[in-house]
Amino acid sequence: MWNPTLTVSERSLVLASIHGATPQAGFATAPTPPPPPPGPPPVVLTTTMIRAAPAEAVGEGSVGEEVFIDDHDIINEISLDEEDLPDQDDDDDQDEDMMDEVEDHSAYAFHGHADEVFAAACSPVDASLVVSGGKDDRGFLWSIGSAENVQELTGHKDTVSTVAFSSDGKLVACGSMDGQINVWNTATRTLQRTLEGSESGLEWLKWHPRLHFIIAGSEDFNIWMWNADLSSFGNTFAGHSNTVTCGDFTPDGKLICSGSDDATLRIWDLKTAQCRHVVRGHGYHTQGLTCLAITWDSQSIVSGSQDSSVHIVSINSGKVVGSLVGHTNSVECIGISPSELHPRSVRYNRVATGSIDRTLIIRDLTHQAIRSICEHDDGVTCLAWIGSSRYVASGCMDGIVRIWDSLSGELACMLSGHRDVVRSPAVSADGNSIVSVSSDKSARVFDISMFK
């Protein structure tokens, strides 16, 4: 078998090729070895084991200094057959096999979307009805467990970024980055209204808690409001100086609260569109707001920011009345548990916050005290309280939905099936199912009836 003798420089090149590196400065390029004899002998690479430098020599010299290997540094030579070397295609196949082996706990999966899915919502009256929207510029109205009862919600020219049902479940709205909202009748499955005004992308939309009014936050720095029954434009709430990233009606339906990338929170009068309070500056967020939640009594706002901070603001005074420390990275989601003032209430006055720092923190909202820190394997992107129970679900960048006991902080269940980031979890009206969507192009339904 042909096995040419390698010089020290040649051995260094072989070592470099095996480890995917290039020769360091100071190694000369080896001359071309003599051609092998006729015939197809197997290719054999000879690698060299090199004696390590003494411990006291480690760290000597400057970066980029030439290093030379002498014959006395060589301990042994090992012959490697080319077939033994790792193949990149094999690695790729192994990665795909690992993806195929993801355990799927879902009871049903919807695969109508052709690209990433960003938003989902469950009907408040029909426990099987779901709406979803995604990067493929489409929305879908579909039923859990039925592959036939699917309605494509067409008409958009850009990503469907936000979806929501009206409080009575009769209408469903899809908002898009094309600046348009399409409103559909859930009974007839027909397009009822197209709401226009903003020519910029819509970040979110919310229905009034009782009326068919819709508000939406836009990249044009404004909040827009429409009457979906009349297809009429209501008001523009102007004042932010950057994208309006989050917002909602107060549960009593009298005010609007909005947060922006301009690091401010604004509280608006619904009828006059006048800004009552602007919350900013010292003692508040220093970077853009990412999320907010409003207490059921319409008295307080809890807001989260890219700067890792969480603050509580009084709606009446517009003052910061509490700061909830604990996160070390961007806060992506906030959810407040039902309280005794909520129609389907229990006495769990908790607020949960999720962050890219891989934690979900559950606090007692009354005393502003941490009750549990729930650790994840990757960043937390979204959360949802499960009805009026003590359980809260978190969605994670690792593709897993986790169910946590808010009283003990214990992990109650892990629901896998997604292969990419989980977004927008929504709980069905009967509390038996949770729907989550993902960058893997799917929407999945998990049974959570044991946590009601």
**Across 184-212, average pLDDT:** 96
**Across 243-256, average pLDDT:** 98
**Across 140-151, average pLDDT:** 95
Residue 86 CA from chain centroid, whole number: 34
Structure tokens given for 64: 């980029």
Find the helix or strand (DSSP H, E) in which 13 lies: helix 8-18
401 burial (CB, 10 Å; 0-12 / 13-18 / 19+) is buried
Q: What is the pLDDT of residue 349?
A: 85
Q: What is the pLDDT of residue 83?
A: 57
User: Sheet of 289-294: strands edge to edge?
Assistant: 289-294, 300-305, 310-314, 320-323
Structure tokens given for 81: 């057959």
The answer on pLDDT for 54 being more than 70 is: no
The answer on pLDDT for 36 being more than 90 is: no
298's CB contacts (< 8 A; 6+ apart) are: 250, 251, 252, 254, 255, 315
The answer on pLDDT for 2 being more than 50 is: no
Q: What is the pLDDT of residue 42?
A: 46
Structure tokens given for 416: 């896998």
The answer on pLDDT for 4 being more than 60 is: no
The answer on pLDDT for 290 being more than 50 is: yes
The answer on pLDDT for 347 being more than 80 is: no
Evaluate the CA torsion angle 162, 424, 396, 356 in order and state its sign: positive
Q: What is the pLDDT of residue 134?
A: 98
414's CB contacts (< 8 A; 6+ apart) are: 105, 400, 401, 402, 403
71's CB contacts (< 8 A; 6+ apart) are: 8
How far apart are alpha carbons 392 and 352 in whole angstroms? 8
The answer on pLDDT for 319 being more than 70 is: yes
CA atoms within 13 A on the CB side of 180: 15
What's the pLDDT band for 92 if we cut at 50, 70, 90?
low
Specify the higher pLDDT residue, 268 or 14. Answer: 268
Count of CB atoms within 10 A of residue 86's CB? 9
CA atoms within 13 A on the CB side of 174: 32
CA dist list (Å): 175 to 82, 183, 232: 56, 9, 16
Structure tokens given for 415: 């629901």
How far apart are alpha carbons 323 and 305 in whole angstroms? 12
Which segments within 40-155 are labelled E, that is strand? 44-50, 74-81, 108-110, 117-122, 129-134, 139-143, 150-153
Min mean pLDDT across 17-31, 77-91, 138-152, 265-279 is at 17-31
Q: Residue 100: helix, strand or coil by DSSP? A: helix
Under DSSP, the state recorded for 1 is -
Q: What is the pLDDT of residue 452?
A: 87
Q: What is the pLDDT of residue 19?
A: 40
What's the pLDDT band for 79 if we cut at 50, 70, 90?
low
The string of DSSP letters for 310-333 reads EEEEETTT--EEEE-----S-EEE
Decide: 179 and 196 in contact? Cβ < 8 Å. Answer: yes
Q: What is the pLDDT of residue 233?
A: 85
Q: What is the CA radius of gyration of the chain?
A: 29
Q: What is the pLDDT of residue 22?
A: 40
Chain-wide mean pLDDT for the chain? 85
pLDDT in tens, 391-440: 999 999 999 999 999 999 999 999 999 999 999 999 999 999 999 999 99
Q: What is the pLDDT of residue 220?
A: 97
Under DSSP, the state recorded for 75 is E
How far apart are alpha carbons 19 and 3 in whole angstroms? 21
Q: Is 441 left (phi over 0), alpha (psi -120 to 50) or beta?
A: left
Q: What is the pLDDT of residue 102?
A: 80
What's the pLDDT band for 66 if we cut at 50, 70, 90?
low
Q: Residue 279: helix, strand or coil by DSSP? A: strand
117's CB contacts (< 8 A; 6+ apart) are: 132, 133, 134, 135, 423, 437, 438, 439, 441, 442, 443
Structure tokens given for 435: 């729907």
297 burial (CB, 10 Å; 0-12 / 13-18 / 19+) is middle
pLDDT in tens, 365-396: 989 999 999 999 999 999 999 998 999 999 99
Closest among 232, 234, 245, 240 to 270, alpha carbons compared: 234
The answer on pLDDT for 250 being more than 90 is: yes
